[in-house]
Amino acid sequence: MEAEKALERITPEEAGISSRQVKKCIEELMHETTQMHGFMAARHGKVFAECWWAPFNSEMVHSNHSFGKSYTATAIGIAVTEKKLSLDEKMVDIFKDEIEERKICVPELTKKITVRHVLSMTNGHAANPSIEGDWIANYFTAAIEYEPGTRFLYNTSGACMLAAVVKKKTGENVKDYLTPRLFEKIGINAERFVWLKWPNGIDAEPATFATTEDNLRLAILYMNNGRWNDEQIVSEEFIREALSVRIKTDEARNRKTADVGMDISFGRVVFRGYTGLMVDRDNMESSGLKKNFVLWYMRGELHHMVHRKRWMCYMNSCFLWQMMKICHKTEPLMTNLSRMKRA
């Protein structure tokens, strides 16, 4: 079983990166406004740097917060790959029984919402529906201000609905569905991976807990276009959509910074296309909020997983991007490493 197979470890120099730059990067991540928990960096699926700050360690699971949405969206992608679901299905059709049972009068614009809209957080809501109490009813009764697909609003309620979609279309909760299809294949220990549930029995969001390496493995899967070894776990088409910016937002324009010249774009719920926070500059991506994030530099095929405390994802990702620019400028990444093969 792949869960027993460790990722290969190499030196930074074997990855075409200076140990000095890696050391400086890790040192600079430690500052008075954040508390680091763990750090991993890999290239071509091979880990060239990793460290944890006491009392944290490599086996400790952390709250994924909004990075957990990436697992939920991956489950959607696998269901699409298995043809159990279409991204163009309307939410009112999927939840027809729940709507009738609750006697909900669904707003006209809500009837247009598709799974694709939920993934892209372009539901059209005027405000994020509450996830307290009957969150399914809250979703379908929430005020709709915009045509679905035209306006971004960060939406945790939508992520909850995606977990419910997985349950409705596959008959399994997200974790149970992912265990044989994702976790066991890419090496995530499902028994250690924690996924809490709502009182109605559906896997909750945000409610996942994983190790630093678990999340790195998921990032590597996306870097490899949904393939792990010789198996296509998620279709390339879904991965391509997941890694594409879907809509420009006011948040992107307002958070453009002269410091690093980054444009913050929000997309779907996995990394660039399908998750909350996206930093986009020359194909560099970052995802996840609160205490952890994945960052990777596509051209050099670098990917990092960071666990840390406090709301410093944006600042730390900006710093890592600066470090990658410095590394690439002063000591270019070795792009023709014949001895390196993808995981």
What one-character DSSP code corresponds to residue 65?
G
- Gap between the Cα atoms of 41 and 215, Å rounded: 11
- Gap between the Cα atoms of 93 and 116, Å rounded: 14
Name the residue with tokens 């372009």.
122
Query: How does the average pLDDT of the chain come out, rounded?
Result: 77
Q: Verify cis geometry, omega within 30 degrees of 0, for the bond prior to 206.
A: yes
Q: What is the pLDDT of residues 9-29, one digit of tens each?
A: 999 899 888 898 888 878 877
- Gap between the Cα atoms of 201 and 96, Å rounded: 19
- Gap between the Cα atoms of 7 and 45, Å rounded: 7
Q: Specify burial of residue 330 (Cβ count, 10 A radius: 0-12, 13-18, 19+).
A: exposed
Residue type, 40: M
Residue environment code for 183-192, b if the CB has 16+ CB neighbours within 10 A, otherwise e: bebbbbbbee
| The predicted structure's pLDDT at residue 172 | 98
- Gap between the Cα atoms of 237 and 276, Å rounded: 20
| The predicted structure's pLDDT at residue 72 | 94
- For the chain, strand residue ranges (E) read 35-43, 46-52, 62-63, 194-197, 203-210, 227-228, 231-232, 263-264, 279-280, 284-287, 292-297, 302-309
Q: How confident is the model at residue 258 (pLDDT cuts 50, 70, 90)?
A: very low
**Three-state DSSP state, 134:** coil
Residue type, 170: T
Token output for 115? 């799974």
Most confident of 129-138, 211-220, 285-294: 129-138
Mean pLDDT of 98-127: 95
Beta strands 203-210 and 46-52 are unpaired
- Gap between the Cα atoms of 276 and 87, Å rounded: 18
- The yes-or-no verdict on residue 233 having pLDDT over 60 is yes
Judge contact between 3 and 187, C-beta under 8 A.
yes
Q: What is the pLDDT of residues 180-224, one digit of tens each?
A: 999 999 999 999 999 999 999 999 988 999 998 998 899 889 888
- How distant, in Å, are the alpha carbons of 30, 50, 94, 133, 305 from that of 39? 11, 5, 40, 37, 6
| The predicted structure's pLDDT at residue 186 | 97
- The yes-or-no verdict on residue 146 having pLDDT over 70 is yes
- Gap between the Cα atoms of 327 and 335, Å rounded: 13
Judge contact between 199 and 174, C-beta under 8 A.
no
| The predicted structure's pLDDT at residue 108 | 96
More confidently predicted of 110 and 260: 110
**Three-state DSSP state, 174:** helix
